[in-house]
Copies of this chain bind each other. A is one copy, B any other.
Amino acid sequence: METNAARLQESMEEMARIGATPGGGVHRLTLSDADREARDLFARWSKEAGLSVTVDEMGNMFARRQGTDESAPPVMTGSHLDSVPNGGRFDGALGVLAALEVVRSLNDAGTPTRHPIEIVNWTNEEGPRFPPSMLGSGVFAGAFQRDFAYSIQDATGKKFFDELERIGYLGDLPCRRRPIAAYVELHIEQGPALITEGKQIGVVEGIRGLTWLRITMKGERDHAGPTPMHMRRDALAGAARAISAVREIPGKLHPDLVATVGEVNVSPNAINVIPGQVTFSVDIRHEDESILKRAEELVLQAAKDAAGWEGLDMEVDRIGGSSPMPFDAWITATIDDACMKEGCSSLRMWSAAGHDARYAADLCPTAMIFTPSVGGKSHAEDELTTWEDVFMGCRILGRTILSLAQQS
């Protein structure tokens, strides 16, 4: 099938102006004003393309193109329009807007499909504002309770529910599983594998498991001057020791394991006060459940040792996680086939980033298509996928969707 490269690029560029940062990225936190603006634009474009747009009670948006057999379950595709703080312009938006381009191109060609096609914009894929991530798809798939999601607060105490209502995206469609024929998501790789191997498309066979922890160390807040070193219980000294240890754990366990401390909050965070309390996050990912579990044990042991060294109390909060999820062989074969027909190079791979496709896979045959990330960079303002790769990703998505939507 043909897609319109110029139109896709224009749409990507217009979307990237919403929440644009001086550094060339986007700052479009979930349920912020910028998120609302992005949603409004997607809804307008969808309606202009003749799609019916519905919003569910988690704010997930579904833009539906009718099929010739309206009793057939839809083929679903899409991604998310929210971003991390000062994130990139391709992460998420590519999957939504390429899906829109596929539908626009089907319209241009007057091509009907047997199955309806639904483009989804999932709420709160990213999660930094309202952890855990993939909340919209998670509630949809039954992994989280809706009311749990509603009650989550951001760092300033604002509730998910109130913000959802405030931006006008509290829909009345129930957020729960329903029949879906297949789910395919196009996304940037966010890692260096495709660039390093010189391949244009990643055929994603599954999503690595993820563990999110928040560890709090409590010591004794005191004046930095008169308190002798041997009398201190410095929460930051303990946390720093633990964070250093976390950095070294993957190297001891498995080459594909990653462990990251991305967030640290120090109290009171004043130059002349010994910190009384420090909270830090740990993000651990691997495709093998047993290695993920072992890594978590090592992280907790390292934190416990560090806390003990400094005489600190420690609390561990398991704030999120998902087990490894292999994708569907029928869908990945369909993507392989599309690559062969387009004559583009591809690589079979596992995703180390979490995606809404993780939860979609609980509901229906699912897989993902990756495009290369220059320098392997993502969640950063200089995140980049070349237009050439963007267009190829869209063509592969189009062929895959068309093939799936014509199945009897």
Contacts and interface: CB of A to CB of B under 8 A. Distances in A.
A405 interface: no
Contact of A271 (B190, B239, B257, B283): B283
Nearest to A257: B229
B192 A228 contact: yes
A266 interface: yes
Contacts of A351: 225-226
A186 to B, nearest CB: 16
Interface stretch (A56-64, A143-151, A330-338, A375-383): A375-383
B86 A268 contact: yes
A281 interface: yes
A224 B192 CA distance: 12
A273 interface: yes
A380 B237 CA distance: 18
Contacts of A227: 190-192, 258, 376
B237 A225 contact: no
A262 interface: yes
Contacts of A228: 191-192, 255-256, 258
A233 B379 CA distance: 14
Contact of A237 (B229, B244, B271, B376): B244
A11 interface: no
Contact of A281 (B190, B271, B281, B354): B271
A229 B243 contact: no
Given A222-B378, A273-B84, A380-B276, A192 B231 contact: yes
Contact of A223 (B190, B244, B259): B190
| Chief secondary structure at chain A's binding surface | loop
A260 B256 CA distance: 36
Given A243-B236, A353-B226, A128 B378 contact: no
Interface string A252-296: 000111111111111011111111100001010100000000000
Contacts of A112: none
A272 B221 contact: no
A121 interface: no
Number of identical protomers: 2
A271 B263 contact: yes
Interface string A233-249: 01011011101100100
Contact of A192 (B226, B244, B259, B265): B226
A326 interface: no
A243 B237 contact: yes
A193 interface: yes
A212 B128 contact: no
B380 A127 contact: no
Given A225-B285, A271-B283, 4 more contacts: A85-B268, A226-B351, A240-B261, A273-B379
Interface of A: 84-86, 126-128, 131, 133, 189-193, 208, 210, 212, 220-229, 231, 234, 236-237, 239-241, 243-244, 247, 250-251, 255-266, 268-276, 281, 283, 285, 351-354, 373, 376-380
9 contacts: A86-B268, A210-B225, A223-B377, A229-B247, A240-B244, A262-B266, A263-B266, A272-B354, A273-B380
> What 5 pairs between A and B have smallest CB-CB spacing?
A191-B226, A225-B353, A240-B243, A224-B260, A225-B352
